[in-house]
Amino acid sequence: MCLLVPDISVGRGFATYVKSTGSNFYGTHKTYLHSFPDGRVVDANRYHIDALPEFIKYIHEKWIPENAEKYFKARDPLALDYLPKLLGTRGELIQ
């Protein structure tokens, strides 16, 4: 089974998004050491579960339209075939 998980840039992007939008979750996160299967250990932010809808909004409205093409082109070019199905003809995420 292949599991594709977003990389560190998604978390960093969300942290920037939370700050730039004036979110109530800005500054409320805790940090923890996150271990990757390849042995890397990084500091990561952990937000309250109530931030999940805001994270989903960030993924749908910012990350996919602005970063998904570059991200998948480098990591999984076959996934590029599915982006138009997600984004529609004007680059807007299909709900």
Residue with tokens 């070019």: 77
CB 94 within 8 A of CB 85: yes
List the structure tokens of 81.
Answer: 């075939």
CB 60 within 8 A of CB 91: no
pLDDT band for 94, please (50, 70, 90 cuts): very low
Over residues 52-79, the pLDDT tens digits come to 999 999 988 898 888 888 888 888 888 8
List the structure tokens of 30.
Answer: 């805790």
Average pLDDT value for residue range 1-21 = 78
Q: Other C-beta atoms within 10 Å of 70: how many? A: 10
pTM: 0.75
